[in-house]
Structure 1
Amino acid sequence: MDAWLDQFLQYVEVERGLSKNTLDSYRRDLLTYLTFLESRGYTVTSPYEHGYIPQYVQELRAKGRATATVSRNLASIRSFYSFLVRERILLFDPSQHMETPRMERKLPRVLIMEDVDRLLAVPDAATSKGLRDRAMLELLYATGIRVSELVSLNEHDVNLTASFLRCIGKGSKERIIPLGHMARQAVLDYVTKARSSMVRDPLDPSLFVNHLGVRLSRQGFWKIIKKHAKKAGIVADITPHTLRHSFATHLLENGADLRAVQEMLGHADISTTQVYTHVTRSRLQDVYQKAHPRA
């Protein structure tokens, strides 16, 4: 089964151009599933009448796994079985009739503009780390890129002359995103005043580096944004994705075209972007209730 799993991961990496993070997610989900099968005396070729997939779903739920986690596991299992049928290892896909659990779509957490301003003002521009942190935060809010995309940026990906950045997102898809003047200035200050003194190897193309002088990790940035959010007095739980959500919501609130926001976020399906229209309607309702004298 491990050999089939390796073949599957090679297939989806080449054929579908999935990111390393997605491949790692597939591997974790399927290793857990294969371990479950082995513990019950099953294999992926066992007769479906044994009902091992519903048993696995039931076990995930018994362990308190979130609906989103169960759905993701099922998606991984379906892709795996589809591959096995395609390779004629199986004649029948036992996962094809499994229903995906219905998920409640939670509205993304968004910062109000005052909180964004406070957060972006926290890093100390008199220090190299402060210049780096301000550049990263400004860049996230200005472009809406994912944190994985942020830490993957190289120097040549940001064109400060023309004020845009080149980003490689999910599925190795490239997109070009404009930079506002404040983000452009923050990155320029970091590149000209701080980066050269922080990077260990002058030939390292990484735009943002950590205290060791090598490319900053997602976990490293997570700690940075948590620290600055606390200093800014932001009570709400904040993650790197919060600035991405805020970017999209604030654009739509100020009249941006939904398709343009979809393109900048790198969403394959516009329905993913449409969740932000629900956020703006929800915020309008809140404003109305607070402001209208007869609300």
Structure 2
Amino acid sequence: MKRRLDEAIDSYLAFAALEKGLAENTLAGYERDLKQFASFAVNKAGVGKLNDINETVVSDWIYALSDRGISNASLCRKLSSLRMLNAYLLREEWISRSFVELVAGPKLIRKAPDALSVKEMEGLLETPDLTTPMGLRDRAILEMLYSSGLRVSELCEAKLQQFDIANGAVKVYGKGSKERVVPMGFQAVIALSGYLEQGRPHLVKSKTGSACFLSNRGSPISRKTVWALLKKYAAKAGIAKPVKPHGLRHSFATHLLSGGADLRVIQELLGHADISTTQIYTTVETERVRTAHDEYHPRSKGASDI
């Protein structure tokens, strides 16, 4: 029996959700990538059956995405999603040969994350209006993203019981539901306490659960809302470059490294499984040191001409 590609994708996604226990956001990303490929295979390549999928179809998809200006990082992620589907189908004997084995992914150049300066970060933190419940909430959100380096999904999903105000710590459930305990800075504790005592009670509705950060409707705050409030406060603070939730996480790590923190400690705080993911921050510090040397060392002038 010839199986359809969409049938295979649905089977893999069900497996990934139940057996692998992938996070909801991760699973949603895989689903988008795979269904995008299925749409291309059927509508552009005229292929809908599993046995007709081959390296040519996959390569044509990658090239088509590249021609649309999709970044190499996104292309690598999409190809990774397809490789995981391929591995599942081989293991379950839905297919007899790989359709991605000979497909070379685009070269991924890891660039240093765009972090805010300490001055920019201080300006951003001062922008919320602390006389309103929403302002108290927003200040606490900014402080938590920067002080503890949380992912935006970790912040949005955080429950009240995860916060230990007395000891200045928060229990975080990261990717793959991995648990870590992260310190909260003094200013973050003050901001969070102010929100919990004077802000959150005004946002609670009859059906509100234990989510810490609430919308004006009393439901857990969404990632989209956090993105929007960051954009608003960045403009108010006069920060010209784009400011995203992950940018505050980058700033957290970069400022720790600049202050002398050990890379392994930063890895643990960020919840990175592999130290190589954390090492990208050394690029930022190396560039900072290089710039300082070029600017201030008397023997540095003209070095680029040698």
- Measured against aligned partners, the alpha-carbon deviations of 1:179-219 in whole angstroms (never above 9, x if no partner) come to 11111111011001110111213751111111222111011
Out of 41, 50, 54, which is 1:44 matched to? Answer: 50
- The answer to whether residue 29 in structure 2 is matched with residue 25 in structure 1 is yes
Aligned to 2:257: 252
Aligned to 2:185: 180
- Structure 1 residues 32-41 or 268-277, which shifts more? 32-41
- Measured against aligned partners, the alpha-carbon deviations of 1:141-177 in whole angstroms (never above 9, x if no partner) come to 1110111111111111111012110111111111110
Aligned to 2:58: 53
Out of 262, 273, 281, which is 1:276 matched to? Answer: 281
* Deviation of 1:51 (Å): 2.0
> For the Cα contact (< 8 Å) 1:196–1:202, is it kept in 2?
no
The 3 A distance-change label for structure 1 pair 254 and 44 is: same
- The answer to whether residue 68 in structure 2 is matched with residue 63 in structure 1 is yes
Aligned runs of 1:1-295 on 2, under 5 Å? 1-39=5-43, 40-42=45-47, 43-46=49-52, 48=54, 51-201=56-206, 203-295=208-300
> For the Cα contact (< 8 Å) 2:254–2:281, is it kept in 1?
yes
State the TM-score, normalizing by the size of structure 1: 0.95
- Structure 1 residues 241-250 or 199-208, which shifts more? 199-208
* Deviation of 1:30 (Å): 0.8
- Residue segments in structure 1 that go unaligned for 5+ positions in a row: none
> For the Cα contact (< 8 Å) 1:229–1:238, is it kept in 2?
yes
> For the Cα contact (< 8 Å) 2:208–2:219, is it kept in 1?
no
Runs of 4+ in 1 over 6 A off after TM superposition: none
Q: Secondary structure at the match of 1:140?
A: helix
The 3 A distance-change label for structure 1 pair 160 and 210 is: same
> For the Cα contact (< 8 Å) 1:37–1:44, is it kept in 2?
no
Partner AA of 1:3 in structure 2: E
* Deviation of 1:260 (Å): 1.1
Q: Secondary structure at the match of 2:181?
A: strand
> For the Cα contact (< 8 Å) 2:23–2:176, is it kept in 1?
yes
Partner AA of 2:126 in structure 1: A
Aligned-partner Cα distance in 2 for 1:240–1:91: 43
> For the Cα contact (< 8 Å) 2:130–2:139, is it kept in 1?
yes
Aligned-partner Cα distance in 2 for 1:235–1:288: 26
Aligned-partner Cα distance in 1 for 2:64–2:50: 17
Q: Secondary structure at the match of 1:194?
A: helix
* Deviation of 1:17 (Å): 2.3
Partner AA of 1:120 in structure 2: L
The percentage of aligned residue pairs carrying the same residue is 38
- Structure 1 residues 181-190 or 89-98, which shifts more? 89-98
* Deviation of 1:100 (Å): 1.6
State the TM-score, normalizing by the size of structure 2: 0.92
Aligned-partner Cα distance in 2 for 1:47–1:31: 14
Q: Secondary structure at the match of 2:130?
A: coil
Aligned-partner Cα distance in 2 for 1:155–1:60: 42
The 3 A distance-change label for structure 1 pair 153 and 47 is: closer
> For the Cα contact (< 8 Å) 2:151–2:246, is it kept in 1?
yes
